[in-house]
Amino acid sequence: MNSMTGYGRAEVSRKEYRLCIELSSVNGRYLECIFRMPRTLIGLEAKIRELIGKNISRGKVTVVVNLEESPVVAAEALIDFRVAGGYYNQLLKLKKKLNLPGRIEIGHVVAYPDLLAGNNERLSEIKIWPDLENLITRAVNDLYKMRVAEGRNLKRDINQRLKHAAGLVRSIEKQSPKNVIAYRQRLIKRIHEWSNGLELDPGRVAEEVTIYADRSDLTEECIRLRSHLDMFGATMKSGGETGKRLNFILQEMGREANTISSKALSGTTSTRAIELKEEIEKLREQIQNIE
């Protein structure tokens, strides 16, 4: 069982550049990659997403790619002389064609912004990809390890909450007969208040209590809750992607807890039902971070 929260980082320094990769992931229904990288590498997004998807199946993953040129390469790449020569020749032709006065100076040539295109050509996708692929793989491995470790912590907390929930179910089941006793006592008290002290019909009271006992019996709800708790534990042990299935089981547990709460008459049963619903909600919050 893995968490969806994690962080991974890897970097490499070459003569021409320094490349750093950072991956961070949070909860997400599906695998979603958000990229923050140089425009020259945008064409590699699909490849990066495929690499991440080999180990990560769910979560919102932010991919940060930092690419820094070495000072030497940056200086060499400031001007693309081939492009500069082309512009100069075209300006000469223009001057001759229009019979323009004056000289062609350096300011006329460097005014063209694409003279800096040499930067992008030197650090192209093809040149960067081998290092980028290796760094993404390393960062994903670090991210995955952290998600596994976080998953272990989540599992310990969830197991404790499951034990508490199971104890509450046992308490509610044990308390269930007292629901009927409390109802009988309350019914007799009300009848006395309404009848002005007239003699009660024991048979009629017993009939009402029996009807209530049938309607307020919590045995079925407790049996289903125990079954759901067992299924929850088995799903956690099964491995793989468990988050969605666990969420569905908790929905069913929530329905049973609400039914118990609506049937509860004694204060103790009502309190236990509220505690159970709170525990289910805490479990729901925890599994939102499970892959």
pTM of the predicted protein model: 0.64
Asked if residue 68 has pLDDT above 60, the reply is yes
Domains of the chain: 6-72+121-148 (3.30.230), 78-118 (no CATH), 150-287 (1.20.120)
3-state helix, strand, coil in the chain (%, to 5): 70, 15, 20
Contact 63, 137 (CB under 8 A): no
Q: How confident is the model at residue 262 (pLDDT cuts 50, 70, 90)?
A: confident
Residue 285 CA to residue 291 CA, distance in Å, equals 13
Q: What angle is formed at CA 291 by the lines to CA 9 and CA 56, rounded to 5 degrees? A: 45
Eight-state DSSP code of residue 241: S
Strands annotated E in the chain:
6-13, 17-26, 31-36, 59-69
For residue range 52-63, list pLDDT tens digits in order: 998 888 889 999
Residue 265 CA to residue 281 CA, distance in Å, equals 23
The average pLDDT across 114-119 equals 54
Residue 121 CA to residue 262 CA, distance in Å, equals 71
User: Going by DSSP bridges, is the β-strand pair 31-36/59-69 parallel, antiparallel, or unpaired?
Assistant: parallel
Among 67-76, 105-114, 200-209, 275-284, which stretch is predicted with the lowest mean pLDDT?
Answer: 200-209
Contact 144, 5 (CB under 8 A): no
For residue range 181-234, list pLDDT tens digits in order: 666 666 666 666 666 655 655 666 566 555 555 555 777 888 899 999 999 988
Q: What angle is formed at CA 167 by the lines to CA 163 and CA 172, rounded to 5 degrees? A: 150
For residue range 136-185, list pLDDT tens digits in order: 999 999 999 999 999 888 889 999 999 999 999 988 888 776 666 666 66
3: tokens are: 């968490």
Give the number of residues written for the chain.
291
